[in-house]
Amino acid sequence: MSTTNINEINRNIYDIKNKDEYEFKIKKGLTPEIIKEISKQKNDPEWMKEFRLKALEVYNKLEMPTWGPDLSELDMEEIATYVRPKTNLNNSWEDVPEDIKDTFDKLGIPEAERTSLAGVGAQYDSEVVYHSMKKELIQQGVIYTDMETAIKEYPKLVQDHFMKCVPVYDHKFVALHGAVWSGGSFVYVPKGVKVDIPLQSYFRLNSPEAGQFEHTLIIVEEGASLHFIEGCSAPKYNKINLHAGCVELYVKDKAYLRYSTIENWSKNMLNLNTKKAIVGKNAKMDWVSGSFGSKISMLYPMSILNGKGAKTEFTGISFAGEGQNLDNGFKVIHNAPETSSVVNAKSISKNGGKCTYRSLVRIAENAKNSKSSVSCESLMLDNSSISDTIPTNDIRTDEVEFSHEAKIGKISDKAIFYLMSRGLSEEDAIAMIVRGFAHPIAKELPVEYAVEMNNLINLEL
């Protein structure tokens, strides 16, 4: 029987470090003058400059969250919030500078584009450096571009939706994002258009003591469908880096959107990302999420089911190793009758790592005949690891079906013994059990990303 030798896999491709060269890097800190300089560098329209400055005011008024992981080591005076690489946006891969191109080549982005994607955007530090989309989608009226281009070419569409799904006063780091955001993707799928092949954006942070604040805005019109994939990674430094991106998703009546993410930040990263979807009548929003890497993660995707018959499903996994505190979960608001939600969350912790599943299910008084099912399972690989489940269930009507199930446990010694009796080493037996535990999530991903997720699990083991 062939087995995977987990010692053969290393993190070298993710820890590629290019020399910290850039065309422009904002000075560290967070002041109105810095925000104005970012706006100037990006050639913002006046409304966006004013938006940034108001968001900064909100940021300064809001308190740091005190209910989750300790964020006291984050010092915004030591973070550069904007880094522009030495290249412009390119539509040809050959025009991307060699060092940046080499990094994305090793991460497999061009190969994935050739084999399984309808469009790709690649961001390096604060700016998108490469973007392409198949001609067939352009002919169907699909828009897929970077956010800066979208603001210039589709100003009304952007202004009507930008940070309306995720308002700046949601929490302190959303306000920070509103002030310093840069890069990200804009997708618009016209009414009735089915995008059969996924689109992907990949975000790579290279510069030390910097932040990445990309903004993703996706609008799927009535009866349309889309699968969007997001990948993230960064090399490891001995100083704190910050990721505070924002994802806004609008899924109109009878539309479908699947949003798949593999987050593989380095273990000096604070990942304070915010993702939210507004779902219309008889529409469906699916989330598939893999959270690896990062020193601290606070990430709780959210679906707001505003239309009758709206549905959402969340399938996610977190893996926390030594020195990691991954506080992840899912939130869903049932605002209309006959809506439904299914949550399947899993976590793995080892070597003292901490995983927390933190959730909210709210079913409003008018959301009669709605259904919600929540399942969270945690697997601890040793006696020093920690796993917590902190659900909040706010059910405001009796005319619903609701269930919540939670399991926390260790790997069975009997299962390990059985596999070892079949010729596996103890190391391979543990790896097989963990991969089996993660399989429900892996099977929801495209093949290339399922392979990457399994590799990341092997890395952690």
Q: Which residues does 198 contact at the CB level (< 8 Å), separation at least 6?
A: 116, 117, 118, 227, 228, 229, 260, 446
| Whether the predicted pLDDT of 13 surpasses 60 | no
pLDDT above 50 (res 110): yes
304, 279 Cβ separation under 8 angstroms: yes
Q: What tens digit of pLDDT does each residue of 227-254 get? A: 998 887 777 666 889 999 999 999 999 9
CB-CB contact of 116 with 197 (8 Å): yes
Instruction: Name which residue leads in pLDDT, 417 or 5.
Output: 417
Find all residues with CB under 8 Å of 36, minimum gap 6, and list them: 49, 53
How high is the pLDDT of residue 204?
Answer: 79
In terms of Cβ atoms closer than 10 Å to its own Cβ (0-12, 13-18, 19+), residue 352 is: middle
Query: What pLDDT score was predicted for residue 155?
Result: 96
This prediction has a pTM of: 0.89
Integer Cα distance of 122 and 215 in angstroms: 13
More confident residue, 300 or 128: 300
Lowest mean pLDDT among 84-98, 316-330, 395-409: 84-98
> What's the Cα-to-Cα distance from 38 to each of 27, 145, 178, 214, 291, rounded to whole Å?
10, 21, 12, 14, 30
CB 358 within 8 A of CB 321: no
Return d(Cα 446, Cα 452) in angstroms, integer.
Answer: 10
Of 101-110, 117-126, 165-174, 232-241, highest mean pLDDT: 165-174
Alpha helices (H) in 4-126, listed in sequence order: 32-41, 46-61, 98-107, 109-116
Q: State the pLDDT at residue 11.
A: 47
